[in-house]
Chains A and B, each alone.
Chain A
Amino acid sequence: MRSTHLLILIWILIAPHVVFGGAGAAQAESISFVESLIERATDGQEVRVPAGVYEGNLVIRKPIVLDGSDGAVFDALGKGIVIEVLAAGVTIRGCVIRGSGSDVTGEPAGIRVVAPNTIIESNTIQDALFGIDLRESPDSIIRGNTISGKDLDPGRRGDGIRLWWSHYCVIENNTVRGSRDMVFWYSEGLIIRRNTVIDSRYGLHFMYSHDTVLEENDLLSNSVGVYLMYSNSITLRGNRMRNNRGASGYGIGLKDCDDITITGNALLANRVGVYLDNSPSSIDSTGIFESNMIAFNEIGLLATPNTHDNVFTRNAFVENEEPAATHGRGRLVSNSFALDGVGNYWSDYAGFDLDGDGIGDVVYEPQSLFGAMLAREPNLRLFVHSPAQQAIEFTARALPELRPQSTLIDPSPLVSAPKIELAIADAKLGGARMGIFGAILLSIAAACIAAMGIERGLPQTRTGTRS
């Protein structure tokens, strides 16, 4: 009996190595096989690459459809670019692409494209410094790819997806994980929707890229969710930025951007929900923030003192540690916190609504003494979440002469949170594990009391003397 158990154990230990080792050894092939397949194909023809691992760097010089969905794996073994596209009209579909170089000077990528009209869809890119790198490749589509970066410090990583001077591209349903940015340089008229970026630096990063719509993207646990810089006429609609909390972590950051419209986004548990740095920068431009849910951030809205001409209406500012703050000293009064007599919902609003029209009869003016102290001395942030902070706020409430100027004035605050469709699945219900954990704690207490309370030691002197 015992010997058969031993044999089974040995078999279990050895079997996986045998299977994987055998398969890998038998199917690793040179990239020249794929090159010859492409050589034989005519323009526009589909090249179905049979299953196998193809080692080396592939360069595509004519318009073909490279289909790896039978199980083709392209591995550059840590040297250079895995697949480089030089011809217009190439499609790359269903491939597993891995092992680009990691030397940042050559910017090696999983897929680099330097030609227009490329379609890159349903590929899996792993262990690549840059994931997909489009250079002067307008009218391209990047769809349904899964990209994970190299396991490096965030500063040494490459971008998951990068567009450089590539107008009118569609980027949708991609997932990027553990990368630097999904970044757009000098690219206009893009459509960016339903992408997910997790554990990266900037989720979506715009540099000098105008006229773009960002819809329903999910940006989770990055340093910054969406950072728009020097980019105008951008609409953010229905995006979700959660838990983006790097040292300068923002859900949305805007730097010198004109004509931005931000509606129906959820900004939850970020370090800062919305950060405005001199945006809009032009005199005649307006930034519009409507119906966003800004909740559970350390700071809901943070803006540099020179920020002006933004309009906030029907947003819900819920339970942010500070609802709004100025980056440095000053106030946010050159922005409007109401449009046509409709302001925003602030969960710390303490006013009333006698006429029952849903608009509070008292203006909302947040006056936090601790917040004012933070603006003066940022080091004091060490003391948030402590009773001392509460004591300071209490003092300011009790002694009005200590109250600082309010950072902003909402003339017509909403008394109840507006309905905002967030398209976020509710947290899993049925916390059986947490319930069990609670029960365990209770039974520890009960067991302690039972075990210690049993009469074994000295008599109870204290109760004795009391009687």
Chain B
Amino acid sequence: MSAITSSPTRPIRTASAAPSFLGGIARFARREFRDAIASKWFLLYTLAFTTLAVGVSFLSLSGVGSHGFAGFGRTAAGLLNLIMLVVPLMALTAGAGSIAGERERGTLLYLLAQPVSRMQVLLGKYFGLAAALLCSLCVGFGISGGVLAWRAGGVGIGSYAMLIGFTALLAIAMLSVGVLISVCSRRSSVATGIALFAWLTLVFVSDLGLMASSLLFKLRVQEIFGLAAVNPLQSFKMAVIVNLNASLDVLGPVGSYASQTLGDGLPWVLGASLAAWTAVPLALAVVIFVRRSSV
């Protein structure tokens, strides 16, 4: 069945009403957002993330923690692990399904027939998905914020807000990678597979590999820090810890080196790594998608 018959009340805009560049993007973003929040993955991820976040907040504040000794730091340490596992998975798979899914179903052809450029289509989908992801995170953090308020009092609101900010940055960076994967894949299943592989690499393989190399090759602290900061997940983790502790001393000699050499610039360097992971894959995806002559 075609799309038109499924929604007879919604008029299709004709070429005479061709929207502006941003207007076109916004229109596609809105559509993508609507599709995303109506889909099962969004519901599932939101539910999973919220449950886990609430669970971590609750458990980390039980027992002695409820006296507020640990403050927000302990909750954050628990949330960090959770975020580093779940958020990249959400964003990568969401991104991976975006273009490849439409391509597989044949609906990409329909989208490209609209009076908009290919770039507008891609960016629209990207921003729509990003908004949906951020909504999902807002729900999870909002409810666990309620738990923190109930159990721990108003501790560390600034830190909590920064944690959310960096998580959002991590999410859109991973979404960029997902979209890049999607643009290059013919089939949705292939894209998802590659996305899962990328997730495994970023979360486990690169860290374990870096650990092994620093043991084998006796890497110097600056080399370890440089290599770690390339990984968006490590950058995210370090940025959150800098924000919580005002330095990276808890991360041993490498952290102390980073804090001493970069000083106040450290969060910016780490943020720049995340920003690069957002911008570069997205730009690549746009270039590849626009240059493609076929669907």
**Chain A residues proximal to chain B, CB less than 8 Å:** 242, 245-247, 249, 266, 268-269, 271, 293, 295-296, 298, 316, 318-319, 321, 373-374, 376-388, 390-392, 417, 422, 424, 426-435, 437-442, 444-445, 448-449, 452-453, 455-465, 467
Q: Is the CB of A434 within 8 A of B154?
A: yes
Q: Is the CB of B143 within 8 A of A442?
A: yes
Q: Is the CB of A442 within 8 A of B68?
A: no
A384 with B211, Cβ < 8 A, contacts A464-B7, A467-B1 known: no
Min C-beta distance of B255 to chain A, whole Å = 6
| A296 (CB) vs chain B CBs: closest residue | B70
Residues of B with C-beta under 8 A to A448: 33, 131, 134-135, 138
Min C-beta distance of A114 to chain B, whole Å = 39
Q: Which of B3, B37, B203, B252 contacts A459 (CB 8 A)?
A: B3
B111 sits at the interface (CB 8 A): yes
Min C-beta distance of B248 to chain A, whole Å = 8
Residues of A with C-beta under 8 A to B225: 382
Bound: A432/B27 CA distance, A: 38
- 24 A-B residue contacts at CB 8 Å? A319-B74, A373-B211, A376-B215, A382-B224, A382-B228, A382-B234, A382-B251, A424-B69, A427-B153, A428-B68, A431-B148, A434-B157, A435-B149, A437-B145, A438-B144, A438-B148, A440-B142, A445-B139, A449-B37, A452-B131, A459-B10, A463-B35, A464-B3, A467-B1
Q: Is the CB of B28 within 8 A of A458?
A: yes
Residues of A with C-beta under 8 A to B102: 462
Residues of B with C-beta under 8 A to A453: 33-34, 37
Interface size on B, residues (CB 8 A): 94
Min C-beta distance of A329 to chain B, whole Å = 14
Q: Which of A382, A388, A455, A460 contacts B203 (CB 8 A)?
A: A388
Would you list the 4 A-B pairs with minimal beta carbon distance, nearest first? A427-B68, A381-B252, A438-B145, A441-B142
Min C-beta distance of A380 to chain B, whole Å = 6
Min C-beta distance of B123 to chain A, whole Å = 14
Residues of A with C-beta under 8 A to B38: 460, 463
Bound: A242/B128 CA distance, A: 45
Residues of A with C-beta under 8 A to B55: none
B195 sits at the interface (CB 8 A): no
Q: Is the CB of B207 within 8 A of A386?
A: yes
Q: Is the CB of A318 within 8 A of B214?
A: no
| B34 (CB) vs chain A CBs: closest residue | A453
A452 with B33, Cβ < 8 A, contacts A318-B63, A385-B241, A441-B164 known: yes
Residues of A with C-beta under 8 A to B237: 385-386
